[in-house]
Amino acid sequence: MNDKDQKELGKTLWAVADQLRGTMDADDFRDYMLSFLFLRYLSDNYEAAARKELGSDYPDPNAIGNAGKTPLSVWYAANKADVAQFEQQMRRKAHYVIKPKYLWGHIVHLAKMQDDTLLDTLQGGFKYIEEESFQSHFQGLFSEINLASDKLGRNYPDRNAKLCAIISEIARGMALFSTDSDTLGDAYEYLIGQFAAGSGKKAGEFYTPQQISNILSAIVTLDSQEPKAGPRRKLDSVFDFACGSGSLLLNVRHRMTEAGGTIGRIYGQESNITTYNLARMNMLLHGVKDTEFEIWHGDTLKNDWDWLRETNPAKKPKFDAVVANPPFSYRWEPKDEASQDSRFKNHGVAPKSAADFAFLLHGLHYLKDDGVMAIILPHGVLFRGGKEAEIRTKLLTDGHIDTVIGLPANLFYSTGIPVCILVLKKCKKPDDVLFINAADHFVKGKRQNQLTDENIQRIVSTYQNRDEHERYSKRISMERIAEEGYNLNISRYVSTAEDEKEIDLTAVYANLQAIELEIGEAKKRHNAFLAELRLAPLP
């Protein structure tokens, strides 16, 4: 399926969501819509793997008829003694198992027939996927989908009927396209973006706009010590401690594989349970095996992931790349002993009013010495005083801040403020800081401003080559930054204002004289006409 068809599929599914949502708000309906898309993906992928595994023994779908049976249900019924061995093989090949009665095709059949067992079958299927399908347990993966909700109906028959309508319509929408399972990941991402656009400030909890994600992923996949050398060939690990729906991690993975490189395990952390479930579904839906990622549900600021708090230096996790889009200026309550926290004791504890630097220091703490970190933050971190000024100064004098990138305003669904990207390294080579002022380089949109591919490429190539361009980028020495009191306000170093043109007073005076002569000549001609008419001349 080409890009146009993928987008059309996403639009079709969004139209279905818009039509069926009814009394539900977008956030509630999102969970149903994306979960059914997820089930469709798992089913398609599993059935494709089963077809390959069984070969000529795989039942012909055209020969089964329309009785609601799937090829696998027919095979299971005819080969009961071989089911256990088949499922063992599927766990090796596809990395998961789904019983035939829980496959999307059977669920759709129940929906179209308005079968009164649909709701119970769905509940059983969701529980099976959470607890038995995968080698890893995805406990609570569907916890946000309440199939007993009054929003679906007042009683079981009403809720069952509503689900029949929703699933039938989704199936009809997807049937308009000859989709393969790989494209459903793109449709999923499209829908997340659409739900984000429709839910205002809440969207910041789970979605980083793709254009900004592209910049961060490009930065961390370049060679951290020699960016001019081009893309890294290998990333053993990448971490996003505020991962939302996981789109940023997936972007890094996609960029590495597209460039012919390899990427190891990807790690994410998310405190919002709904968003945490979205992230886990999103990973699987994009073909990331359950053994290739780990998403942790927990509070990053409290550092409640036991694995991260490992005290043995030999086992302590460190990452090749860290990316993040944490909540801006989040109010937090640091503990009294926070100053002794290994993450903060070298640089300081961020103030209660804004946890921006607390998030940054968390990521930096887990970065490898030769790694690179890219984080999106509000501009306030560049110039605010007090404790933040102390942390910023220490980061600069320790040589950790490599690049400061100013982005245009109104790029996010959740806020209209301009944001910046800070690129940090444990061991950076240049004894200066690169400033890129891209604030004026965008295309204005109806809701959000947009960065074009050219805008993004210019930012990335400027970072990669540490280029200097008038009114766009400049390398600033640490001596100059010290003179400015370690204030990183971008406009102090790279102003986008154009100098006023010098006025040539001699030329202006000559022009005025010429104009006066023209006025005099015009007045003479005018008075001549007045004289012919025997009227008084102009004074």
Any domain includes 335: yes
Are both 139 and 212 inside the same structural domain? no
Contact 170, 14 (CB under 8 A): no
Q: State yes or no: pLDDT of 80 exceeds 90.
A: yes
Are both 77 and 225 inside the same structural domain? no
Domain end point (choices 147, 173, 198): 198
Mean pLDDT, range 214-238, rounded to an integer: 88
Are both 163 and 41 inside the same structural domain? yes
Any domain includes 497: no
Q: State yes or no: pLDDT of 255 exceeds 80.
A: yes
Q: What is the pLDDT of residues 14-48, one digit of tens each?
A: 777 776 666 666 667 777 888 888 898 899 889 99
CA 184 to chain centre: 17
pLDDT of residue 202: 46
Any domain includes 269: yes
Domain end point (choices 198, 233, 266): 198
| Distance between start and end Cα atoms, the chain | 82
Any domain includes 119: yes
69: confidence class by pLDDT, cuts 50, 70, 90: confident
| Cβ atoms within 10 Å of 487's Cβ, excluding its own | 16
pLDDT of residue 522: 85
The CATH number of whichever domain residue 188 belongs to comes to 1.20.1260.30
Q: What is the pLDDT of residues 198-209, one digit of tens each?
A: 554 444 445 688
Burial class (CB in 10 A: 0-12, 13-18, 19+), 448: middle
| Residue keyed to tokens 């079958």 | 121
Any domain includes 151: yes
Are both 16 and 69 inside the same structural domain? yes
- Parallel/antiparallel/unpaired status of strands 401-406 and 432-437: parallel
The CATH number of whichever domain residue 416 belongs to comes to 3.40.50.150
CA distance 61 to 211: 42
Are both 535 and 468 inside the same structural domain? no
408: confidence class by pLDDT, cuts 50, 70, 90: very high
Domain end point (choices 149, 173, 198): 198
Mean pLDDT, range 446-472, rounded to an integer: 93
Any domain includes 498: no
Choose the weakest-confidence range: 53-67, 89-103, 355-369, 414-428: 53-67
pLDDT of residue 495: 83
Are both 110 and 211 inside the same structural domain? no
Choose the weakest-confidence range: 17-31, 303-317, 438-452, 490-504: 17-31
Counting runs of H as helices and runs of E as strands, what totals does the chain give?
A: 17, 9
118-128 and 156-175 helices cross at what angle (nearest 10)? Answer: 70
Are both 192 and 219 inside the same structural domain? no
* DSSP-based three-state secondary structure for 251: helix
Mean pLDDT, range 83-106, rounded to an integer: 94
pLDDT of residue 297: 95
CA distance 151 to 145: 11
Q: State yes or no: pLDDT of 224 exceeds 80.
A: no
pLDDT of residue 331: 95
Q: State yes or no: pLDDT of 485 exceeds 70.
A: yes
pLDDT of residue 177: 62
Burial class (CB in 10 A: 0-12, 13-18, 19+), 78: exposed
pLDDT of residue 203: 43
Are both 252 and 134 inside the same structural domain? no
Any domain includes 499: no
Are both 260 and 385 inside the same structural domain? yes
Are both 180 and 110 inside the same structural domain? yes
Taken as a whole, the chain contains a residue count of 539
The fraction of the chain above a pLDDT of 70, given in percent, is 90
DSSP 407-436: --SS-SSS--S-EEEEEE-SS---SEEEEE
The fraction of the chain above a pLDDT of 90, given in percent, is 57
Are both 134 and 254 inside the same structural domain? no
Are both 227 and 174 inside the same structural domain? no
Question: What is the domain range of residue 231?
Answer: 206-492
Looking at the 3D structure of the chain, how many domains does it have? 3
Q: What is the pLDDT of residues 356-380, one digit of tens each?
A: 999 999 999 999 999 999 999 999 9
Contact 282, 250 (CB under 8 A): yes
497: confidence class by pLDDT, cuts 50, 70, 90: low
| Cβ atoms within 10 Å of 27's Cβ, excluding its own | 16
